[in-house]
Amino acid sequence: MKFFTIPWYEEMQVRGFMVFPETEQDWQEEVAWHVAEGISYEERAKDFLEYMKKDLLKYLPGYFHASIYDGTINSTYPAPDFKERALQWGGEYDERVQAIFREYREGYEAIKHELPESAVQLVEKSLHDARVISYTMATEGVLEMILDCSGAMHYQCEIKLKFKGVSGLRLPEPLEKKYWLYDEIYAVEQGFELRVLMDSPPSELRITAQDVSIELLGEPKYME
């Protein structure tokens, strides 16, 4: 990936972690909800911190590291100075991400006319959160993928992607059950190159092909 890389995605998860309740009362109400549901807020916070710890230390400024090590970063309501610094870091992160999206979008619009119409549909009707069910090289130069789009932004049914004239292929293993997160597409001499950031764990799918078709395998709930 040139823009939506694995480090980019990791930092995005850190950005989500660093969102705190608006007020201390909101935080207390959240803790109370956990108690009412018989859930230990402290244990949940501890487990989440342990899961995120490596990336928090990797992407957050040194100011936050002491609170990561002692566990207070998500076990207590942040002090005003801490919250202000978190808001500042979050705002700077958001600006960087918006700049990345703008740069990619400008590049995409510049080459969009060179892409097959079906490839344009593939990336503009986002498959974000679609899950890979299966894939196969049906014949030489033809890759077929079945995706479950019930939780995705479009289609809301299973679909089959058939990439034809495949001349380049990089498949994360195993591909089954991975989630389609973000994609980038580029015009190349052979047709187009599609790069997809997949999840669980994060990895990259890369396909160079001449064309692609999209077949609905069920009745969609809606299409846009």
For residue 140, the model assigns a pLDDT of 87
Judge whether residue 219 has pLDDT over 80. no
Name residue 167's amino acid: S
Query: Rounded to the nearest 10 degrees, how much is the dihedral formed by the CA atoms of 49, 50, 55, 59?
Result: 40
Mean pLDDT of 48-57: 97
Tell me how far apart the alpha carbons of residues 207 and 195 are, in angstroms, rounded to a whole number: 7
The rounded mean pLDDT for the chain is: 94
**Domain ranges in the chain?**
6-110, 115-216
Whole-angstrom Cα distance, residue 85 to residue 172?
38
Q: What is the per-residue burial (b if ≥16 Cβ within 10 Å, else e) of 54-92?
A: ebbeebbeeebeebbeeebbbeebbeeebeebbeebbee
Dist CA 134 CA 114 (whole Å): 29
Q: Using CA atoms, how far apart are residues 123 and 108, in angstroms rounded to an integer?
A: 10
Q: What 3 state SS string does the chain have?
A: CCCCCHHHHHHHHHHHHCCCCCCHHHHHHHHHHHHHCCCCHHHHHHHHHHHHHHHHHHHCCHHHHHHHHHCCCCCCCCCHHHHHHHHHHHHHHHHHHHHHHHHHHHHHHHHHHHCCHHHHHHHHCCCCCEEEEEEEEEECCEEEEEEECCCCCCCCCEEEEEEECCCEEECCCCCCCCEEEEEEEEEECCEEEEEEEEECCCEEEEEEECEEEEEECCCCCCCC
pLDDT tens, residue by residue, 191-215: 999 999 999 889 999 999 999 999 9
pLDDT of 79 reads 95
For the entire predicted model, the pTM comes to 0.89
- Give me the mean pLDDT over the 158-175 stretch: 93
Confidence label for 223 from pLDDT (cuts 50, 70 and 90): very low
Sheet strands side by side (includes 158-164): 168-170, 203-209, 191-199, 179-188, 130-139, 142-148, 158-164, 211-216
Mean pLDDT value across residues 48-62:
97
* pLDDT, tens digit, 9 for 90 and up, residues 77-109: 999 999 999 999 999 999 999 999 999 999 999
What pLDDT is attached to residue 224?
Answer: 46
CB 111 within 8 A of CB 164: no
